[in-house]
């Protein structure tokens, strides 16, 4: 059984990237296309899964040079598992810190919205500043 082959346009639609981006990723060594007997670039279902993982890493904030290093280590085989795991742990830790920071920002925004609502419906005195309002929640 021959695995399905996707030309770049079809593959780009499947993974939600432009052909330009796929070529760029290929130039950067993040993905490797194969070529048919006519030299036409194609991809497989395994490439779909790989791009999906690359996009997850990118989505967590992994920088291009880190992605390239990860791909290089992966190509070197199982002897690099510990280093790859450490890289992923750092990305995970950084993403969790980013999430915590965003949650804090969202909490402050929510408090500001509540403060505006209180000013509008007069449940918060006109003289109460946002700073004073926030102090109620920091006790």
C-alpha distance from residue 9 to each of 23, 40, 94 (Å): 11, 12, 34
Q: Domain for residue 39, yes or no?
A: yes
Burial class (CB in 10 A: 0-12, 13-18, 19+), 48: middle
pTM given for the model: 0.73
Interval 62-90 mean pLDDT: 95
Q: Domain for residue 53, yes or no?
A: yes
Q: What is the pLDDT of residues 43-64, one digit of tens each?
A: 999 999 999 999 999 998 899 9
For 94, residues 6+ apart whose C-beta sits below 8 A from its C-beta are 60, 61
Containing domain of residue 5, as a range? Answer: 1-59
Token code pair at residue 111: 């408090």
Of the candidate ranges 66-80, 86-100, 124-138, the one whose mean pLDDT is the lowest: 124-138
| Residue corresponding to tokens 């690099």 | 80
Instruction: Name the band, by pLDDT with cuts 50, 70 and 90, for residue 1.
Output: low
Q: Domain for residue 18, yes or no?
A: yes
Interval 104-127 mean pLDDT: 93
Q: Domain for residue 7, yes or no?
A: yes
- Parallel, antiparallel or unpaired: strands 34-35 and 6-7: unpaired
Q: Domain for residue 124, yes or no?
A: no
Could you give the percent of the chain with pLDDT greater than 90?
80
| Residue corresponding to tokens 């949650």 | 103
Q: What is the pLDDT of residues 3-12, one digit of tens each?
A: 899 999 999 9
Work out the mean pLDDT of the chain and round it to a whole number: 92
The answer to whether 30 and 72 have CB atoms below 8 angstroms apart is no
Q: Domain for residue 19, yes or no?
A: yes
d(CA 19, CA 12): 6
Q: What is the CATH number of the domain that holds 14?
A: 1.10.1660.10
Q: Domain for residue 13, yes or no?
A: yes
| Counted domains in the chain | 1
Q: Domain for residue 137, yes or no?
A: no
The percent helix, strand, coil of the chain (3-state, each to 5) is 70, 5, 25
């Amino acid at each position: 059984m021959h695995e399905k082959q996707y030309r770049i346009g079809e593959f780009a639609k499947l993974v939600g990237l432009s052909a330009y981006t796929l070529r760029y990723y290929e130039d950067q060594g993040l993905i490797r296309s194969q070529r048919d007997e006519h030299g036409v670039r194609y991809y497989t279902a395994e490439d779909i899964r790989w791009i999906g993982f690359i996009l997850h890493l990118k989505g967590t904030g992994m920088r291009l040079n880190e992605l390239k290093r990860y791909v290089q280590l992966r190509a070197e085989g199982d002897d690099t598992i510990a280093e790859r795991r450490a890289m992923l742990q750092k990305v995970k830790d950084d993403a969790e810190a980013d999430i915590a920071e965003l949650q804090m920002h969202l909490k402050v925004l929510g408090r500001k919205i509540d403060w505006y609502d209180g000013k509008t419906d007069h449940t918060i005195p006109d003289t109460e500043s946002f700073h004073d309002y926030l102090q109620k929640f920091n006790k």
